[in-house]
């Protein structure tokens, strides 16, 4: 009998350490390797290569099909390159772009996250869109873009991209629940508090938000309210400056919401899915969110967009994101990239006409399309919220690479959760955030 | 007896010739041996170097620079490691990593061993039970995490509703930092115990039943049988399962990230989650990789200590 068969055999210290080291190397690999670029990628940038257009998945599979069809319509002038279309998933998208750009297999033109162009511009990978912007101005089309949308993208080295759609954070509510609670739609902070208390009495959350795994909504909502109160996280020159009286006042207001049970204490761990479930089940009566337009998770319901709130000092303001199209230095010809991008801006209305996208268009002519006008929530967002909206860079007006590291970074997450928890001193929370902002600015 | 001349190649390499005492190994034909060795072993070594050594060396280089995902960046020496040691979040993450690992290893081991012992008895439909018990290990973590989130995340989730009905008030399992830490550890134990059960079952099956019979005849109680027969005779397997589970726990990213994202208020941030967040959310590649290297060093140290324990148990 042998209870420990072949003891020690085939189990050497070297072999064991090798196994252990290999296993231990996993986090290293996870941390230092970048995601694979799409399989269709190949070296580009040479004459005869296509203008590779990488497009994020801004909608369902219908969007991807429409994107392919749209790009296929483009017929370049003689001597210019034709485009190719590649849809990119949001999962690990930044690694996808970073690895492809580093290996010179990336796109010539792409959509992407709001700050992506700034970050890659800092690495010298972005081609300025100044010629495209000049062309729009020359042809009288520049004025067709909603006001202020180009400012964010204009850096000292030129335009890092051109705007094509907006992502807005607006106050939304369920009318039947407000009626049941016996209150009207809030118009300012006081009435928001009053409505929240009334909703609380009928067992409904009056300020729905989420700061859990992967959810940025709480932080965006807090910043939106700060902007609504004339605040922001940066000074007009773009330097971190969040420990201000207006911001402290905003956090005190949020603490009041928390103390009164208007904000769900579980919101600190809420994911986007948790939040949507609560909205759809009628547990939430009010809250800041993206525009519940047709095609979104909350679209097609009785959730409506309210008019913008007036801050306690009479300020108006909200947070929005200027999603942009960018060009890269790795291109078969810059002229081809410019021509394609310009054509795309002039023809992207197809997405809204065919109803495959739920984002807010940046061109007035698209917002006036009959197909778009059918969506009351989106129309209200464009008419009332866009004119008062500011970017994440507020009080500054121009974007920068640090924003990418700030939004979704560790400082942002901790800040959001501390505010939602409602137990820490507002000034201390902001001082911690200030350090995080400064570290991000230095780091990038 | 006289020596005879070699009659075959085999003889030529094994026969000892007076005055020319050569060992059999040294007598093997040398011509082409090295080349053959390199031809067969070279590709494997090259592959290992590419897959293991290159990433580690490159990671070390990155940890000494202040880089981004696109560029290595300027050389900063050991500043990234110094940053780690002065960062409260690093120490907090290290602390939770230890708690998570200890809970994960020993929690899953206790349950796994108990179930393995139970499965040795004659239980009706034991095969069905075994399959059911393996499910937590087999089901993808993303599915398990979504299920657990559904069970505990909101105040209207089933378990908080049950807790409320039992008079515990509104229990927010993922919103309270301490409860979230406990929940994440329980989740880890839940998805890991089947592995421990399999390891324990395999070890137990190698123990000769006659030993137990002899022990019972000598009047040994069940506890004594476990302490003096089961435990020592399965010790080596137990240590190996501990080592493996330690590696699994320290390197576990999805369990934590999918359930809590490391929150609330960083209460469930492990070192691996921190490294990910630093690299892919803060875009501080050098600092993130430095944290990952520190994880490696800690893991190897723990593994060596446990390996020594295994050797002792074998001896």
Task: Please report, for chain A, the start and end positions of each structural domain, with discontinuous segments joined by +.
Answer: 51-167+321-387, 168-320+390-443
In the predicted structure, residue A349 carries a pLDDT above the cut 80: yes
Same CATH fold assignment for domains A51-167+321-387 and A168-320+390-443 = yes
Please compute, for residue B167, the number of CA atoms within 13 A of its CA located in the half-sphere on the CB side.
0
Among the partner-chain residues A8, A32, A274, the one whose CB lies closest to the CB of B55 is A32
In the predicted structure, residue A42 carries a pLDDT above the cut 80: no
For the domain A168-320+390-443, what is the CATH code?
3.40.190.10
* A106-113: average pLDDT: 96
Chain A / chain B CB contacts < 8 angstroms: 199
Dist. CA B65–CA A33, nearest whole Å: 16
Dist. CA A152–CA A143, nearest whole Å: 16
Dist. CA B162–CA B156, nearest whole Å: 9
Q: Could you tell me the CATH superfamily of domain A51-167+321-387?
A: Periplasmic binding protein-like II (3.40.190.10)
Task: Give the 3-state secondary structure of residue A188.
Answer: strand
Please tell me the predicted confidence (pLDDT) of residue A234.
Answer: 96
Is B56 in CB contact (< 8 Å) with chain A? yes
Please tell me the predicted confidence (pLDDT) of residue B55.
Answer: 86
In the predicted structure, residue A13 carries a pLDDT above the cut 50: no
**What are the beta bridge partners of residue A169?**
A290
Could you list the residue range(s) of the whole structural domain that residue B180 is in? 93-314
User: What is the interface pTM, i.e. ipTM, of the complex?
Assistant: 0.80
- Opening angle at CA B241, ends B240 and B246, nearest 5: 100
Say whether A269 and B260 touch across the interface (CB within 8 A): yes
What is the total count of domains within chain B? 1
Residue B127, in any domain of the structure? yes
Is A149 in CB contact (< 8 Å) with chain B? no
pLDDT tens sequence across B215-253 = 999 999 999 999 999 999 998 899 999 999 999 999 999
CA A396 distance to own-chain centroid: 18
CATH of the domain at B114: 1.10.3720.10
In the predicted structure, residue A34 carries a pLDDT above the cut 50: no
pLDDT tens sequence across B52-95 = 888 889 999 999 999 887 788 899 999 999 999 999 999 999 99
In the predicted structure, residue B30 carries a pLDDT above the cut 80: no
Please tell me the predicted confidence (pLDDT) of residue A46.
Answer: 58
Determine which of A21, A213, A258, A275 to mutate to test the interface with B (most B C-beta atoms within 10 Å): A213
Dist. CA A224–CA B168, nearest whole Å: 36
Dist. CA A37–CA A40, nearest whole Å: 8
- DSSP, residue by residue, A276-297: HHHHHTT-B-EEEEE---TTST
In the predicted structure, residue B18 carries a pLDDT above the cut 50: no
Dist. CA B42–CA B52, nearest whole Å: 15
Task: Give the 3-state secondary structure of residue A320.
Answer: strand
pLDDT tens sequence across A133-145 = 999 999 999 999 9
Distance from CA of B200 to the nearest CA of A (A): 13
Residue B58, in any domain of the structure? no
Among the partner-chain residues A24, A213, A404, the one whose CB lies closest to the CB of B299 is A24
Please tell me the predicted confidence (pLDDT) of residue A21.
Answer: 43
CA A44 distance to own-chain centroid: 29
Please tell me the predicted confidence (pLDDT) of residue B140.
Answer: 94
Among the partner-chain residues B172, B264, B276, the one whose CB lies closest to the CB of A31 is B276
- Percentage of chain A lying above the pLDDT 70 cut: 89
Please compute, for residue A375, the number of CA atoms within 13 A of its CA located in the half-sphere on the CB side.
30
Which residues in chain A touch residue B71, judged by CB atoms under 8 angstroms apart?
Answer: 123
pLDDT band at B29 (very low <50, low <70, confident <90, very high): low
* A81-92: average pLDDT: 92
Task: Give the 3-state secondary structure of residue A390.
Answer: strand
Distance from CA of A151 to the nearest CA of B (A): 25
Question: CA of B94: how far to CAs of A116, A426, B176, B273, B289, in Å?
Answer: 32, 28, 20, 11, 15
**Neighbouring residues of A297: CB distance < 8 A, sequence distance ≥ 6:** A276
Query: pTM of the entire structure?
Result: 0.83
């Amino acid at each position: 009998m042998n209870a420990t068969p072949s003891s020690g055999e085939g189990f050497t210290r070297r072999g064991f350490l090798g196994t252990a080291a290999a296993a231990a190397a996993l986090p290293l690999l996870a941390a230092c390797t970048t995601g694979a670029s799409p399989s269709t990628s190949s070296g580009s940038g040479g004459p005869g290569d296509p203008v590779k257009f990488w497009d994020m998945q801004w909608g369902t599979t219908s969007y991807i099909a429409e994107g392919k069809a749209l790009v296929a319509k483009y017929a370049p002038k003689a001597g210019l390159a034709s485009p190719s279309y590649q849809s990119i998933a949001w999962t690990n998208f930044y690694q996808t772009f970073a690895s492809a750009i580093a290996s010179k297999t990336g796109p010539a033109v792409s959509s992407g996250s709001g700050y992506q162009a700034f970050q890659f511009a800092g690495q010298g990978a972005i081609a300025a869109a100044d010629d495209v912007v000049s062309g729009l101005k020359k042809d009288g089309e520049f004025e067709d873009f909603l006001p202020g949308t180009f400012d964010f993208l204009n850096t000292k080295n030129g335009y890092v991209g051109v705007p094509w759609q907006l992502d807005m954070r607006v106050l939304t509510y369920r009318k039947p629940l407000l009626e049941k609670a016996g209150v009207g739609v809030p118009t300012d902070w006081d009435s928001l508090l009053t409505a929240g208390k009334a909703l609380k009495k009928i067992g409904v959350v009056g300020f729905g938000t989420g700061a859990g795994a992967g959810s940025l909504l709480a932080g965006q909502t807090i910043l939106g309210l700060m902007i609504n109160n004339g605040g922001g996280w940066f000074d007009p020159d773009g330097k971190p400056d969040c420990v201000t009286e207006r911001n402290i006042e905003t956090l005190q207001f949020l603490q009041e919401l928390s103390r009164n049970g208007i904000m769900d204490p579980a919101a600190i761990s809420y994911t986007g899915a948790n939040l949507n479930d609560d909205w759809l089940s009628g547990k939430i009566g009010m809250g800041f969110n993206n525009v519940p337009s047709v095609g979104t998770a909350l679209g097609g319901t009785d959730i409506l967009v309210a008019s913008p709130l007036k801050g306690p000092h009479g300020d108006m303001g909200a947070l929005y994101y200027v999603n942009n199209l960018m060009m890269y230095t790795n291109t078969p010809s810059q002229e081809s990239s410019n021509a394609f991008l310009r054509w795309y801006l002039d023809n992207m209305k197809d997405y809204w006409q065919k109803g495959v996208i739920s984002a807010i268009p940046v061109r007035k002519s698209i917002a006036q399309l009959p197909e778009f006008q059918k969506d009351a929530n989106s129309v209200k967002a464009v008419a009332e919220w866009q004119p008062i909206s500011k970017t994440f860079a507020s009080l500054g007006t121009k974007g920068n690479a640090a924003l990418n590291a700030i939004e979704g970074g560790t400082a942002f997450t901790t800040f959001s959760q501390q505010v939602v928890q409602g137990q820490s001193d507002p000034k201390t929370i902001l001082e911690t955030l200030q350090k995080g902002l400064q570290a991000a600015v230095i780091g990038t | 007896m006289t020596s005879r001349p070699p009659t075959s190649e085999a003889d030529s390499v094994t026969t000892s010739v007076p005055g020319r005492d050569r060992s059999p190994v040294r007598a093997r034909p040398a011509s082409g041996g090295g080349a053959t060795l390199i031809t067969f072993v070279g590709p494997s070594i090259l592959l290992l170097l590419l897959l293991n050594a290159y990433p580690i060396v490159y990671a070390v280089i990155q940890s000494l620079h202040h880089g981004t995902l696109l560029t290595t960046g300027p050389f900063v020496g050991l500043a990234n490691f110094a940053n780690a040691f002065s960062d409260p979040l690093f120490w907090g993450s290290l602390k939770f990593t230890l708690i998570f690992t200890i809970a994960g290893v020993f929690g899953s081991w206790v349950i796994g061993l108990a179930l393995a012992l139970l499965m040795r008895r004659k239980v009706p439909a034991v095969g069905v039970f075994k399959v059911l018990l393996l499910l937590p290990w087999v089901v993808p973590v993303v599915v398990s995490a979504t299920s657990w989130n559904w069970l505990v995340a909101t105040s209207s989730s089933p378990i908080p509703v049950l807790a409320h009905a039992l008079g515990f008030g509104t229990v927010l399992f993922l919103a309270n930092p301490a409860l979230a830490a406990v929940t994440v550890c329980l989740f880890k134990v839940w998805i890991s115990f089947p592995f421990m059960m399999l390891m324990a079952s395999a070890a137990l099956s190698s123990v000769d039943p006659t030993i137990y019979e002899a022990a019972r005849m000598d009047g040994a109680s069940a506890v004594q049988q476990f302490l003096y027969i089961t435990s020592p005779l399965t010790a080596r397997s137990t240590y190996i399962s501990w080592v493996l589970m330690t590696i699994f726990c320290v390197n576990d990213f999805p369990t934590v990230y999918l359930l809590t994202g490391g929150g609330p208020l960083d209460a469930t941030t492990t070192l691996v989650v921190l490294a990910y967040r630093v690299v892919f959310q803060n875009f501080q590649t050098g600092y993130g990789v430095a944290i990952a290297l520190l994880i490696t060093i800690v893991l190897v140290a723990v593994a060596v200590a446990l390996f020594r324990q295994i050797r002792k148990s074998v001896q």
